Amino acid sequence: MKIQHPLARSLVTIRTWPFFTDLGVAAFGLAAFLGIVQMGSYWLTRQVPSAAISLSVQSLPLYAFYSVVRIGIAYLLSLVFAVAYGYLAAYNPRVEAWMIAVLDILQSIPVLSFLPPVMLAMVALVPRYQLGLEMGAILLIFTGQVWNMAFSFYSSLKSIPREMVEASRIYRFSAWQRFWQLELPYSAIGLIWNSIVSVAGGWFALIACEMFSLKGTDFRLPGLGSYLLTAASANPVDLHALLSGLTVLVLIIVATDQLLWRPLIAWSDKFKFEQVESADRVTSPILALFQKSSFLLRLPGKVLEKAEEKIYTRMAHSRACTVIQPMDQPEPNRGISMTTALLGSVAGLLILWGVLHLPSLFHSVGKAEILHLLAGAGATFLRVNLSLLIAAAWTIPVGVAIGFHPRLARVAQPIAQVVASVPATALFPVLLLGLIKLGGGLGIGSIVLMLLGTQWYILFNVIAGATSIPGDLKEVSALYKFSRWQRWTTVILPGIFPYLITGMVTASGGAWNASIFAEYFHLNGRTLEILGLGAQINSATEHNQLTILLLATILISLMVVSMNRLVWRRLYRLAETRFKLES
């Protein structure tokens, strides 16, 4: 006779997992606390603009920690800014066009154009401590991360199905309830995928943010970016240090993917707008492990329940929760608010100041330099659009394939994230040497480097769009035996269109940013450059020619505004109307 033991091995294993998960969460919390103490003590030390960068492998863990903290803080700032800016732009028709135009301009301005004002302001704000330099570097990384997240959130808000908005009004949701229970969940998929590419963009721009020259002073912050650039700039190139730094970078990216992005993607899959649950669900072992933690399940739930109860009780008596506004009823004309008037006045004063000082700028710049800037603008414009076309040609089919097949996504997404996050400027010396031997030179190399800075924005947005296509639409296309052409024209392209436009807009900005690295490069003691605005901005920054830097930035802004008005704004309007998902 077989005796049944009351404590079977399976039951012991099931009950043991939450204990180890809670232990891991506690260890992570302790490590985060010690990291905060370490960074606080470092930031409050005496300011050292030009830190000595050691190429020893033993220095890599500390350098990697500093870079991860900078990128993490910059990402949190980017997330808050993107949500706030996208929300204001989507729900304020009076300033919507202006806010999107400003966002398009800012995301196209290269990081080096932000460098002088940002770094000088932060150093002046905190003059004696390392905190000033760190704040400047974090804000520079912020400028390389935030724009595509803001575009993604704005595009998601504009494409929320009409019946869901009507339901929120019928049930008298307050603004907070609508944001927390409708708008944020609906935009979660696009926001998470754009967060991945934003962090990848932060790693891409890390070298320029940790090691640069300004007003004759070489700034070097200890970090993984400065380590890689020091190894790549050595004569000869220190391949051992370069490969060691890239290995650490790849390990960080893979760990981030498995511990953060993959659980978030699996968690956000429940927010997909579909009538029938999809058969293929995104899974994550780490998320399943976290869901077994009693600490993560009980404590946050109790805190949120108490906070939400107070907020909802207070908002239940507001006008939004007691009066239902018809969807088609225009908002009453309340005039111009104080905030709008203040912002408009400040913008008007800045424009007036610029108009008054513009003649003096042109007076100090010769005709030959202006013609050179215009020729450079045309050359960079052609390279940017060529890189966009090449990127779209392969990222659209590959992104759709990854988004439609979760098993393929589990393998392809970490690989794409690793390749997207590796700073191309660290690999560019080897690539450029190979192109020079083949007779290509910087002409082809600049397009290749721009492509490395643009294609990931399109790829990750296409993946997000393909992931968000409802499963019932896929099943209907299979049931009616659509041909491949019919599936692409009636299901896939309309489904990914809003995400594709967001990816193309942000990829355009990424190409303009990459131009400063692609058109001007130091290699083995020589300076290689090609005609273009990126080269002129880089050269002006190195030689402290602030007038040339300002004029080049103005030219970029004018071209971006023209593209925004003639192309991107019309495509956004098309995405909001014709290709909006409705039941």
Number of domains, the chain: 1
Q: What is the DSSP letter of 211?
A: E
Q: How confident is the model at residue 392 (pLDDT cuts 50, 70, 90)?
A: very high
Tracing tokens 């893979």 back to the chain, one arrives at 254
Which among 300, 258, 252 has a CA at the least distance from the CA of 283? 258
44, 266, 459 from 258: Cα distances, Å:
33, 11, 19
Residues 235-239: what's their mean pLDDT? 75
Which among 385, 416, 368 has a CA at the least distance from the CA of 508? 385
Asked if residue 389 is part of any domain, the answer here is yes
Which amino acid, residue 454? T
Residue 33: phi and psi, rounded to 5, are -65, -45
What is residue 396's predicted lDDT score, i.e. its pLDDT?
93
Q: Which residue has the higher pLDDT, 523 or 1?
A: 523
How many angstroms separate the CA atoms of 5 and 186, rounded? 48
* Contact by Cβ (8 Å): 182, 168: yes
* Contact by Cβ (8 Å): 81, 151: no
Q: Which residue has the higher pLDDT, 556 or 272?
A: 556
What is residue 353's predicted lDDT score, i.e. its pLDDT?
66
Is residue 1 pLDDT above 50, yes or no? Answer: no
Which amino acid, residue 416? A
pLDDT in tens, 268-296: 888 876 655 555 666 777 777 777 766 66
Residues 412-439: what's their mean pLDDT? 70
What is residue 334's predicted lDDT score, i.e. its pLDDT?
43
Asked if residue 477 is part of any domain, the answer here is yes
Is residue 5 pLDDT above 80, yes or no? Answer: no
How many angstroms separate the CA atoms of 459 and 419, rounded? 12
In percent, the amount of the chain with pLDDT more than 90 equals 7
Asked if residue 5 is part of any domain, the answer here is no
Max mean pLDDT among 110-119, 222-231, 318-327 falls in 222-231
* Contact by Cβ (8 Å): 43, 130: yes
* Contact by Cβ (8 Å): 210, 226: yes
Asked if residue 442 is part of any domain, the answer here is yes
Q: ∠61-67-71 over CA atoms, to 5°?
A: 140
How many angstroms separate the CA atoms of 95 and 376, rounded? 32
How would you write 472-505 as a 3-class SS string? HHHHHHHHCCCCHHHHHHHHHHHHHHHHHHHHHH
Q: How confident is the model at residue 81 (pLDDT cuts 50, 70, 90)?
A: very high
Rg of the Cα atoms in the chain: 26
* Torsion sign, CA atoms 66, 72, 78, 80: negative
What is the chain's mean pLDDT, rounded? 77
Strand partners, 129: 46
Q: How confident is the model at residue 9 (pLDDT cuts 50, 70, 90)?
A: very low
- For 508, the domain range is 59-322+359-577
What is residue 32's predicted lDDT score, i.e. its pLDDT?
76
Contacts of 88 (CB under 8 A, 6+ apart): 95, 99
How would you write 251-319 as a 3-class SS string? HHHHHHHHHHHHHHHHHHHHHCCCCCCCCCCCCCHHHHHHCCCHHHHHHHHHHHHHHHHHHHHHHCCCH
Residue 220: phi and psi, rounded to 5, are -135, 115
What is residue 77's predicted lDDT score, i.e. its pLDDT?
93
Looking up residue 208, the CATH number of its domain turns out to be 1.10.3720.10
Asked if residue 124 is part of any domain, the answer here is yes
Q: What is the DSSP string of 81-141?
A: HHHHHHHHHHT-HHHHHHHHHHHHHHHHS-HHHHHHHHHHHHHHHS-SBHHHHHHHHHHHH
Residues 65-76: what's their mean pLDDT? 91
What is residue 80's predicted lDDT score, i.e. its pLDDT?
93
Q: Which of 10-14, 159-163, 404-408 has the lowest mean pLDDT?
A: 10-14
Asked if residue 229 is part of any domain, the answer here is yes
What is residue 22's predicted lDDT score, i.e. its pLDDT?
65
Asked if residue 525 is part of any domain, the answer here is yes
- SS3 of residue 212 by DSSP: strand
Is residue 533 pLDDT above 60, yes or no? Answer: yes
Residues 153-157: what's their mean pLDDT? 88
Residue 364: phi and psi, rounded to 5, are -85, -5
Residue 301 has which token pair? Answer: 């739930």
Which amino acid, residue 546? L
How many angstroms separate the CA atoms of 577 and 159, rounded? 8
* Torsion sign, CA atoms 206, 211, 213, 214: positive
Asked if residue 583 is part of any domain, the answer here is no
Q: Which of 90-104, 217-231, 285-299, 366-380 has the lowest mean pLDDT?
A: 285-299
Strand partners, 522: 527
What is residue 76's predicted lDDT score, i.e. its pLDDT?
93
Max mean pLDDT among 6-15, 23-32, 94-103, 482-491 falls in 482-491
**Residues in the chain, how many?**
583
Q: Which of 408-412, 438-442, 505-509 has the lowest mean pLDDT?
A: 438-442
What is residue 391's predicted lDDT score, i.e. its pLDDT?
92
560: left (phi over 0), alpha (psi -120 to 50) or beta: alpha
